[in-house]
Amino acid sequence: MKLNTTGLFLALSVTSALTSQAIAANRVNLDEGAERSQLISISELVEQHQFETTASVKLNNDISKTKLQQMYKGIPVYGESLVSTASALRSAESFSGDLITGIEQDLSDVMPSISENESVSILAQHWNHDLIKVSQPERNLVIWLDEKDTAHLAWQVSYVVYAKDPSRPYAFIDAKSGAILDTWDAIAFAQGTGPGGNAKTGRYHFGTDYPAFDVKEVNGICSLDSANVETLDMKHQQAGGSIHSFNCYENTSREVNGAYSPLNDAHAFGQVVFKMYKDWYQTAPLTQKLRLRVHYGNSYENAFWDGRQMTFGDGATRFYPLVSLDVVAHEVSHGFTQQNSNLEYKNQSGGMNEAFSDISAAAAVYYHTGSFNWKIGDQIFKGSGSMRYMDTPSRDGKSIDHAKDYRQGLNVHYSSGVYNRSFYLLANTQGWDIRKAFDVFVLANQMYWTPRSTYDQGAVGVVKAAVDLGYCVDDIVYAFNKVGVNAGALTGQGCKDIPTDRPPLAAFDASVSGKQVTVTDRSSDDKGIVGHQWTFGDGAISTQPNTAHTYNAAGSYTVTLTVTDTSGQTNSSSQSITIVDNGNCTAPLWDAGTIYLKGDKVSQAGKNYEAKWWTQGEDPTQTGTWGVWRDLGACQ
């Protein structure tokens, strides 16, 4: 679509990518505060670029937000969108986000050389899956930007393999060459009456202890099917399944692994989740009816979202059947994320994806019962434990409480701890509760998060959502600051009864080159910062606002900045960095997040290596004789 820009002009920073000298795609930030070295009307930009509306939200103040997917010659530019703000009087008043320009410099045409079916075969071959076992293949032609913002014509491909350990390979495949540009496993795990519960929660009854659930009745036969939710009995198979039916109106099927009726629990709690999204946000969690598949496989101790539906195992020795309200809400909300921000299920975005599902679980329990104990999965966890702890994620021994503990390749269930704790802190801030905190995370997911959002970028999106809703920005900035995430400066926007002398907020940027780290202060305070104290993890300190430090040895270090304001109040922020001694090597240093193709050369620990085939994340020093990397010897 084209935006209606009658009488509307916006001052924008427009780089040389908008001129004939542009040589590649370029990012132009449209947020307020972007540098404005050149001025151009928004109407002129719209004439040069194409957008399609993907979502719209109307706020209580007669302001509407519209998410606009950027297109290029009718093809979506993956992960790139703008958010427009409009009032009842004007069609568009401002824009937020990045605009990609100069795509034509990278792509001479948009005709694929690889067919969509060939792309599925390429992905299946890479993951060693037989095509006959592939279910639900999806292929979409997109413009995909690499880390340098070079545009590629690509097939966005995924499918599901149902097995003892289900998987959902997801990839971007170059539509010209067939090369795999990026890939990962995107499987996201983790009015009738009748019994529910398990040996830990105790037996309860839908229709007495909890409201009855909606069913379909035909000639005295009821089925677990309603306007918004359908529940299938998989009968311990990995494929197939059918909507469960029973003689109206009491369903007692069927006890398994200490639970009284997982079918009833799943169906009833699916309806609770749907009603929460509808009551609070006037939207359905998914664009399609919720499909819940129960009794999957034999002794399957997990639950997952496969891109279309939610599936729940019966558990075994560690778990009761995984159909508690928080688990159901968690899996449904993976679908909400996929159909809104589509956060990639890896890296920091994957942690955010998992955290949003946990946050949704907290919201659903709060919606249903009026309280929440900050434990995920405790009602289906045999024994006294829990799957995750949102107040202190590290209690499980694997999750992280702070962004400084994040490392490349960390399991997304463990990296979710950063956002889980920030949500806990926000919901327990004076003037907030779980519902209010969920408001800003939902709107951020709908409007401001993108597939590759980082912790910091996601937090900025939550702040933007708070501005939209008129909520206190500073409370969000503080909540994220306590977990090492930079959500921006303290502005006081939307805040009431602001203290006259607030503590400072420490924040900084760090960049590593060789053995040197350069740090730049980004801290803020309402009256000004008068002191800086840097520690670099090797005994070195500095009191300069901005400085650089050179390490003597390779290793992992924690850099901490402590700032002091005019009243003597302090605040600290930390980041983890890795220093690698690469000796005299000239080849690029290996990076766990980079995709390498056959023939690519890297260096690591003083040696050069060459890729034998496509790879991502395999450390050259650990590859072995039959691994992907060929040892080329020591750097000279």
How far CA 558 is from CA of 370, 517, 540, 564, 624, in Å, comes to 40, 11, 11, 20, 31
Look up residue 609 and give its amino acid. Y
The residue written with tokens 């509307």 in the block is: 8
Catalytic residue among 80, 230, 331, 354: 331
Pairing mode of beta strands 242-243, 229-233: antiparallel
Catalytic residue among 49, 267, 413, 532: 413
Residue 331 is a catalytic residue: yes
Q: Output b/e per residue, 59-69; b: 16+ Cβ within 10 A.
A: eeeebbbbbbb
Instruction: Please measure the distance between the N-terminal and C-terminal CA atoms of the chain and give it in whole angstroms.
Output: 56
| Cβ proximity of 37 and 16 under 8 Å | no
Quick one: DSSP state of residue 447? I
Quick one: DSSP state of residue 568? S
The pair of structure tokens assigned to 235 is 């009968």
Task: DSSP for 147-210, please give it.
Answer: TT--EEEEEEEEEEB-SSS-B-EEEEEETTT--EEEEEE--B---BBEEE-BTTT--EEETTTB
Nearest to 28 by CA among 119, 96, 88, 91: 96
Quick one: DSSP state of residue 505? B
Quick one: DSSP state of residue 634? E
CB-based contacts of 158, cutoff 8 Å, min separation 6: 136, 137, 138, 168, 169, 170, 171, 186, 307
Look up residue 174 and give its amino acid. D
Quick one: DSSP state of residue 130? -
Residue 549 is a catalytic residue: no
How far apart, in whole angstroms, are the C-alpha atoms of residue 292 and residue 508? 45
How far apart, in whole angstroms, are the C-alpha atoms of residue 296 and residue 634? 52
How far CA 423 is from CA of 35, 327, 357, in Å, comes to 32, 18, 12
- Count Cβ atoms below 10 Å from residue 52 Cβ, excluding itself: 13
SS (H, E, C) 363-414: HHHHHHHCCCCCEECCCCECCCCCCEECCCHHHHCCCCCCHHHCCCCCCHHH
- Count Cβ atoms below 10 Å from residue 362 Cβ, excluding itself: 25
Instruction: Output the CA torsion sign for 551, 552, 555, 560.
Output: negative
Task: DSSP for 225-284, please give it.
Answer: B-SSEEEEE-TT-SS--EE-EEESSB-----BTTBS-HHHHHHHHHHHHHHHHHHHHSS-
| Cβ proximity of 210 and 221 under 8 Å | no
How far apart, in whole angstroms, are the C-alpha atoms of residue 20 and residue 436? 48
Residue 78, CB-side half-sphere exposure with 13 Å CA sphere: 26
How far apart, in whole angstroms, are the C-alpha atoms of residue 386 and residue 380? 8
How far apart, in whole angstroms, are the C-alpha atoms of residue 488 and residue 480? 10
Residues with a known catalytic role: 331, 413
